Structure 1
Amino acid sequence: MSFVIRPAGMEDLQHLYEMAKLTGGGFTNLPPDRNSLTGKLEGSQTAFARRGDEIVGETFVLVLENTETQVVRGTCQVFTAVGHRWPFYSYRINRLTQYSKELDRTVSAELLSLVNDLEGTSEVGGLFLHPGERAGGLGMLLARSRYLFIAAHRHRFGERILAELRGIIDERGGSPFWDAIGGKFFGMSFQEADEFNAIHGNQFIADLMPKHPVYIAMLDEEARKVIGLPHPSGRAAMRMLENEGFSYQGYVDIFDGGPTMLADTDKVRSIACAHHGEVDEDTLEKGEKALIAAGEFEDFRCCYGARDIRGDAIAIDAQSAELLGVGTGDRVWSIAR
């Protein structure tokens, strides 16, 4: 398989724009807007070029390239700390229990509270695979390459990591959750609010969204039943996140009500179990299937390959060595496929 994950560059703008038009809405990290994508790529290049240990609000954009055709067929992003450029808002689901002595009745209600609890948390997101490539495990390669990138640059990421999953979008491209809450205060459709957020940020939420908790029981049924549920296309992604150690802890997206998954960074499976070792053979013919990554920052590369762990050292197959540009004596990160 001649696919490799690498840092995105300005030359990838057209490919990213074409993929952004295929997302179907609700995909804030990949807006179909050339100016926004250009800004994102410029910020990513600055992040890759910076050296230093301090954690600041940066975005690293990676792409999946077919090395035979030089065509980009997927993308993913890693955020060092959310909430630095503008506030990071979530709804947190709380339960309020009250008792009436006169009625001898206990009533329990669920509330949605607007919070900044997750500010400063790292994030994995922006994953999109071209519909024509959704076979052969390329989605898994995109998803897990982010964890090897974090492992290789651990000092630039926080103690917790989150992943936001797109919520339920109806057949007209709207969001029942947005229509029940945000739409009533902003006079904007879900698609308009989603596009505005992708391009301009969500400070308008802080300016206009009511600060008082929302009683879930007061929402219509269509809105209530989608809270915390991923879009059908995101169910596989949710399972992958759960396999990595992420869990849903009662936080949902303020726009579509989709679940926010959380994990301790060092306990994410593909980070905790990643092997870092020196290549002692780069012509391995048979071995364990694995994701293999090499290089730092703008030199980072990741691909599928074969490995044989030999203590602290590792042997890898010749094709992986060629895709990653490594040989005997170089150091690589790897995780079993």
Structure 2
Amino acid sequence: MMIIRPIVEKDLNALKRMAENAGVGFTSLPANLDLLKARIADAEAAFSSSPESEENQSYLFVLEETSTGEIAGVCGIESALGLQTPWYNYHLGTLVHASPTLGVYEKSHTLTLSNDHTGCSELCTLFLDKDFRHSKNGSLLSKCRFMFMANAPERFNERVIAEMRGVSDEEGNSPFWDGLGSHFFAMPFAKADYLSGLGNKAFIAELMPKLPIYINLLNNDARAVIGKVHDNTLPALRMLEGEGFENLGYVDIFDGGPTIEANIRHIRAISNSKTLAVEIGDASPDDEAYPCLVSNLGIKNYRCTLINASISKAQSAGAIKLDQASADALKVAAGESVRIVALSARQAA
């Protein structure tokens, strides 16, 4: 069984392996042992924190194969960006140059350095090992965060964003960085990206031009990838769009990848989720069943997995039936409550 749980200290080696496999462009998971140790410590502190805390809390979850103990993936949530150091991205805008006398009217698209997402919550650090990219594991890993947020909405901002990985090649070259950032920093994209993951993103951004950058002054390769995602990131983008996220014109300062966002109350998996009592027993075959996310209601002992169920039938019965193995994995007993939602909107339609 695949189960989502909070990361703990013993997961360090698995996290290091995933960081090494993630490659260039995965800013939030650099292959630096000290930083990874700190991220785990921060996550353990976050799961134990008070919901009234006004500081950013960094939640980190792992996907575990329970029969082997193998860690297959990782994902995270930042509760409030930019409270300690500024949070930067570019906002796509338009400037109009007009002269009625000369009969000139020209629109120019621009990139302007922005701190608009300060205080927002962020979905981050999503990585799934290639051997586990099947059986809806990617959907579980990504959407488990919504179940956690539904359990404790007071811990998060009403505005939730996700930075999507931009275009770069296997050698770690970014057309956007080569066309813009490299003119201000004498370093390749891979190094700038690594330094960003170490916490130096604000320092680099502060040396970028503060005035709007005219996109038509960039080379063709850089212009072509603005707002585009890495091929490996496209499924994650489509998944979040299906949950209600949209692109409002923000892109990353390094690789030009899009930042998408949604109001926490409008995210499908949060707004449509239900809480139902648990009944332990063997579920009878049901032709109307479909994949559902189901989680306990905990924070420090949070667990989430996938089951096949019909939510409407469960609501009519007043309970959701779980087999003993699923109940044990979710750390719930008969009579306790779990949160449940269809894995995707079309499956419950």
TM-based fold match above 0.5: yes
Q: Could you tell me whether the CA contact under 8 Å between 1:86 and 1:202 is conserved in 2?
A: no
1:140–1:188: structure 2 CA closer, same or farther, 3 Å change rule?
same
Alignment check: 8 A CA contact 2:276 2:320 kept? no
* Cα contact 2:280–2:327 (8 A) shared by 1: no
TM alignment of 1:1-337, pairs within 5 A: 2-286=1-285, 288=289, 289-307=291-309, 308=311, 309-311=314-316, 313-318=318-323, 319-337=325-343
In structure 1, how many angstroms separate the alpha carbons of the residues matched to 2:112 and 2:297? 42
| Partner amino acid, structure 2, of 1:329 | G
Contact 2:294 2:340 in 1 (8 A): yes
Could you list the per-position Cα deviations for residues 121-140 of structure 1 after superposition, in whole angstroms to 9, with x for gaps in the alignment?
A: 11111110001111111000
8 Å contact kept, 1:53–1:156: yes
| Alpha-carbon distance between aligned partners in 2 of 1:54 and 1:36, rounded to the nearest angstrom | 23
1:183 shift after superposition = 1.1
Equivalent residue letter for 1:316? K
Superposition CA RMSD, Å: 1.4
Cα distance in 1 for residues equivalent to 2:281 and 2:293: 15
- Structure 1: runs of 5 or more not aligned: none
1:209 Cα deviation (Å)?
1.2
Q: Structure 1 length as normaliser, TM-score? A: 0.96
Residue by residue over 1:196-224, the C-alpha shift from the partner in whole angstroms, topping out at 9 and shown as x without a partner, is: 11013312124311111100000000000
| Contact residue 276 and residue 315 of structure 2 kept, 8 A | no
Q: Aligned partners of 1:172 and 1:27: how far apart in 2?
A: 14
Structure 2 CA distance, aligned partners of 1:59 and 1:201? Answer: 17
- Residues 331 and 121 (structure 1), Cα distance of their counterparts in 2 relative to 1, 3 Å cut: same
Q: Secondary structure at the match of 2:82?
A: coil
Which amino acid in structure 1 is aligned with residue 294 of structure 2?
A: I
Q: Identity over the aligned pairs, expressed in percent?
A: 36
Deviations 1:18-46 (A, max 9, x none): 01111121111111111111110000000
Q: Secondary structure at the match of 1:277?
A: strand
Given that 2:249 and 2:258 are in contact with CA atoms closer than 8 Å, whether structure 1 keeps it comes out as yes
Q: 1:298 to 1:187 in 2, by over 3 A?
A: same
Give the alignment's TM-score, normalised by structure 2.
0.93
1:152-183 Cα offsets, whole Å, 9 max, x none, are 11110011100111000024211111111111
Give the secondary structure class of the aligned counterpart of 1:202.
helix
User: Cα offset for 1:281?
Assistant: 4.4
Residue 282 of structure 1 and its aligned partner are, at CA, apart by: 4.6
Deviation at 1:295, TM superposition (A): 3.8
How many residues end up aligned between the 2 structures?
Answer: 336
Alpha-carbon deviation of 1:316? 2.7
Shift of 1:312: 8.9
Give unpaired runs (5+ residues) of structure 2.
344-349
Partner of 1:233, secondary structure, is helix
Q: C-alpha displacement at 1:317, in angstroms?
A: 2.3
Where 1:22 maps in the other structure, the secondary structure is helix
Separation of aligned partners in 1, 2:151 and 2:338: 9
Matched letter for residue 320 of structure 2: A
Distance in 2 separating the partners of 1:63 and 1:142:
8
